[in-house]
Structure 1
Amino acid sequence: MEVAYIKTPLGIAKIEGDSDGLATVTVLDDTEELTTVIPEILEDVVYQLQEYFEGKRETFDLVLNPSGTAFQKTVWDALLQIPYGKTCAYLELAKLLGDPKAIRAVAAANAKNPLWIIVPCHRVIGSDGSLTGYAGGLHRKKWLLEHESPAKQQSLF
């Protein structure tokens, strides 16, 4: 498994993957030494993440290989269907998966998403529109949703 640490506007991202695909992308609160030479197998991931943060990329084209249960993978696949700049409530996601009673299981699977930003768990919000639960911290979730918002705040000056 190859590993790279890159700087993002939200902290240091740890990226892990191999020839089978991208396994994890996590954001760290502590400081890690940045990777000076990105492993070849991770170069495209780093490039696409940089484009995302520069506002030049809305979707990712990567081979994904996260570890998880069959149910978690089903939830993560559903997250990939939430378009850039849009949000979905946990209840909507549970209904989309065929069982509105599974809302807590869906939320738990969402929280275990190992592919930060790539699988957009940050686009899932509370039914009342609130920013609920985000493993990377609500300040990051808010930043990501504002970054993806089609209506950017304009400066008056």
Structure 2
Amino acid sequence: YKKDGTKIASGLTTDAKGQIQVNDLKPGDYYFVETAAPAGYELNDSKLNFTVELQTTTKVATVAATNAEKTGSVVLNKTDSDTGKTLSGAVFDLYKKDGTKVASDLTTDAKGQIQVNDLKPGDYYFIETAAPAGYELNDSKLNFTVEFQATTK
């Protein structure tokens, strides 16, 4: 768009390098607005302003746009293996598949649950670090995957 809101071009799509090139713009102020984000990314609909200056030598104006990767959530449910009763007070650490610790001292609530939000797509695991009173520690890896999502679930 021109600064005054006049649309110059639409349907411009980033190439394999993540770039869009528009030639033959007259000197002045312009802006891009993203109308569709790549699959798995949030739409960034802010105005991306740039200026084409009067040039005696050719100079290319550049503007950068970023998108945040869509994230997912996980809910862990801690229950008694015999009765199925939910258990509060169990403490877990959360790791990426490669062993990088993401969070520690996550404790199950009154419903026996831990919810973790804003996880990027990938493989993770929980490890219990403290069992509820009267229970044995289950220190096996509890693996899960946050799927790549083209739409929010």
Q: Shorter chain as normaliser: what TM range?
A: under 0.3
Whichever structure has more helix as a proportion of its residues is 1
TM-score (normalizing by structure 1): 0.22
Q: Which of these two proteins has the greater Rg computed from alpha carbons?
A: 2
Whichever structure has more strand as a proportion of its residues is 2
